[in-house]
């Protein structure tokens, strides 16, 4: 079925798509159509985002996080398991960005343009990782994966402030911390192609977390809330994962976290900027 010509309806269409490759390709085309002015936007439109979302392929099998295999970098399978896990994160990130567009109405036009940019970049990341995984003799779906990223999206479905606080600013920001050591492991194992993909992902993810910061702070201003206090309240209320270092302070600063927020992080484990 052809995607709708309105941005938020098109986002919902691709969110529901079950084929991973079609979803990534469709999002890339949607981004081009938006840039070319072939897509319009109706911010006030209320869309039905049901429990069946997001669309995903039958594989990978979803398991609890602790059931995902360990990743031994000295073996081809171990590296492939890691690349597969990263692919799954990026696939989920496509869905998260599409859901942010489709689910939340009444936001400024820049909000929807920002999250479309995120969706398109996540689609590129997924495609790069999947293509690299295929060169190793595997494909997306060949290993089990967990679904914790989408679990938080489900918990925050009714409140855009909670979504901005706890998905881009918490779960995705953890990727800024994790990316350098993961890249180092891949490079040490001799997989420089994967390491270069991680460089692209870290560069783009700084921008994605910055978008989360932008709209979290905008929403706090609209609601008359102090961002630090609001974040602490939301993290407790929604049982967000505890933040643990070491933190990539340079990347978090580039993503727009304030010095007060960074100081609070550093005090959690005595890390140093």
Residue 104 placed within a domain: yes
| Mean pLDDT of the region 240-250 | 90
Given a contact cutoff of 8 angstroms between Cβ atoms, the answer to whether 136 and 86 are in contact is no
* pTM metric for this prediction: 0.94
Residue 35 lies in a domain: no
Whether residue 150 lies inside any domain: the answer is yes
- pLDDT band of residue 242 (cuts 50, 70, 90) is confident
Residue 211 lies in a domain: yes
Closest CA to 20 of 112, 80, 110, 88: 88
- Alpha carbon distance 128, 137 (integer Å): 15
pLDDT in tens, 93-135: 999 999 999 999 999 999 999 999 999 999 999 999 999 999 9
CATH number at residue 264: 1.20.1260.10
8-state DSSP, 173: H
- Rounded-to-integer distance, Cα 161 and Cα 163, Å: 5
Radius of gyration of the chain (CA): 18
- Number of domains the chain contains: 1
Give residue-wise pLDDT tens across range 168-210: 999 999 999 999 999 999 999 999 999 999 999 999 999 999 9
Q: Domain span at residue 220?
A: 65-269
Instruction: Write b or e for each residue in 26-46: b if 16 or more Cβ atoms lie within 10 A of its Cβ, otherwise e.
Output: bbbbbbebbeeeebeeeeeee
- Residue 9 counted as domain residue: no
């Amino acid at each position: 079925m052809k995607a709708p010509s309105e941005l938020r309806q098109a986002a919902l269409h691709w969110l529901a798509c079950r084929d991973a490759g079609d979803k990534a390709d469709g999002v890339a085309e949607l981004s081009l159509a938006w840039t070319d002015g072939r897509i319009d936007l109706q911010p006030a439109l209320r869309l039905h985002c049901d429990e069946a979302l997001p669309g995903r392929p039958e594989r990978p099998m979803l398991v609890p996080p602790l059931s995902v295999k360990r990743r031994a970098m000295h073996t081809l399978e171990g590296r492939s398991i890691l690349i597969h896990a990263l692919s799954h994160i990026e696939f989920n990130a496509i869905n998260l960005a599409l859901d942010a567009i489709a689910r939340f109405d009444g936001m400024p036009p820049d909000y929807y343009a920002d999250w479309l940019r995120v969706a398109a970049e996540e689609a590129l990341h997924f495609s790069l990782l999947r293509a690299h995984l295929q060169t190793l003799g595997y494909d997306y779906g060949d290993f089990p994966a967990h679904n914790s990223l989408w679990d938080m999206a489900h918990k925050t479905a009714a409140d855009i402030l909670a979504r901005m606080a706890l998905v881009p600013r918490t779960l995705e920001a953890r990727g800024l911390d994790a990316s350098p050591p993961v890249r180092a492991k891949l490079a040490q194992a001799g997989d420089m192609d994967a390491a270069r993909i991680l460089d692209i992902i870290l560069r783009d993810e700084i921008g994605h977390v910055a978008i989360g910061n932008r709209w979290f702070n905008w929403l706090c201003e609209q609601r008359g809330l102090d961002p630090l206090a609001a974040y602490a309240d939301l993290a407790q209320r929604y049982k967000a994962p505890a933040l643990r270092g070491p933190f990539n302070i340079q990347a978090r600063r580039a993503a727009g976290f304030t010095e007060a927020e960074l100081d609070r992080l550093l005090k959690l484990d005595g890390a140093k900027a």
